[in-house]
Amino acid sequence: MKKKVVLAYSGGLDTSCAVRWIIDKYDAEVICFCAFIGEVPDPAPIRKRALAAGASKIYIEDMKEVFAKEYILPSLWAHARYEGKYLMATTLGRPLIAKRLVEIAEKEKAEYVAHGCTGKGNDQVRIEVGVTSLNPKLKIIAPLKEWEFRTREEEIEYAHDHNIPIAVTKKSIYSLDKNIWGIAIEAGILEDPWTAPPQDAYVMTRNLDNVPDKSREVTVDFVKGIPVALNKKKMALVPLIETLNQWAGDYGIGRLDMVENRLVGIKSREVYEAPAATVLMSGHEELTNLIFDREYLHFQRILSDKYADLAYFGLWFTPLKEALDAFFGKHQHLVTGEVKFRFEKGNATVIGRKSPHSSYSEALAT
């Protein structure tokens, strides 16, 4: 019997070449899996490309809701920011992909999974550690760490030689990874940590010279820790996040430029945008602060840092991370209330908060 490999497929040049390369190199059957956790593009050309590259089958799934409920929400409750800043949009997507890869491999009786991450980043570790945590029997193939191509041109030539249709879209000069929780912008001139990001590097937020002059008030309602309404309009979690990305992005809210310590031991300069995430995190923290006592608040900060480290290092499916979820989940039924923001020129300033479970006493404060 032929070996079976389930490949995390993006539809891009790397993973399209990877399909063919695995088939030839490993004499295997390749099944692709493509998850949408940001924009949901037309699946037809993606399917066509995967099959043209030689895949026997492709799973294409809109996983935004799972992403929001099982990955974004727990990290929102944990107030998780890597190195105190990064809201981890990319980070949180990787265990989701790892988990679904494992499920599909088990269903298809495949003994291999594969991914298109390079050998320098965090993502390879997150996917590999995620897969191994969930099913240690699965073997992992990482074509980009193994193959002989050195340049993009060589890959394009390989694609041509093997009749793999590649997307004609112009490749960004940056390396981008985007989903509903934010975007990471890396590489190119940004690798010099002294070079300011050019205005056109940004994707989700407007430049400050292009935001409305007039500020705008926005309220966010939380019920039991879950954001449920914007300006009193009830919304499901995914559309709420998407709407807030638009509203906050219009005001240039949620930009971050940092040098971060990768788990592989190198420092990298990262430019991030996370409009909705920035507002929701600040809102959830504000309510938490209004409701709980000093001891709880001071102690949970320690765990927030630990939570972010675990997520960032790919230790999502681990006993400690699960135990921390239990800790942060324990009192979410009290996190109900409303936070009022003023959006103005790059900032979402908290200007009011209220909750039926508030511990604040005006009488004592006066």
Mind telling me the catalytic residues?
14, 94, 123, 175
Question: In degrees to the nearest 10, what's the CA dihedral of 154, 50, 46, 131?
Answer: -90
Nearer to ligand ARG, 46 or 334 (CB): 46
The least distance separating ligand ARG from the CB of residue 263, rounded to whole angstroms, comes to: 8
Q: Please list, in sequence order, all residues whose beta carbon lies within 8 angstroms of the beta carbon of residue 186, skipping any fewer than 6 positions away.
A: 174, 175, 176, 268, 269, 270, 271
What span, in angstroms and rounded, lies between the C-alpha atoms of 358 and 360?
A: 5
Cβ contact 275:249 at 8 Å: yes
Nearer to ligand ARG, 15 or 288 (CB): 15
Write out the residues near ligand ARG by the rule CB under 6 A.
Answer: 90-91, 121-123, 175, 177, 184, 186, 270
Nearer to ligand ARG, 121 or 225 (CB): 121
Tokens representing 19 are 């399909």
Q: Which amino acid is at 263?
A: L
Nearer to ligand ARG, 121 or 130 (CB): 121
* Helices 294-312 and 275-291, packing angle to 10 deg: 150
Place of tokens 């099913």: 135
Nearer to ligand ARG, 186 or 221 (CB): 186
Q: Please list, in sequence order, all residues whose beta carbon lies within 8 angstroms of the beta carbon of residue 238, skipping any fewer than 6 positions away.
A: 64, 65, 68, 180
**H/E element holding 350?**
strand 347-354
R_g over Cα of the chain: 22
Q: How many CA atoms lie within 13 A of 235 on its CB side?
A: 18
Nearer to ligand ARG, 188 or 329 (CB): 188
CA distances from 272 to 55, 86, 237, 366 (A): 34, 8, 22, 41
**H/E element holding 64?**
helix 64-66
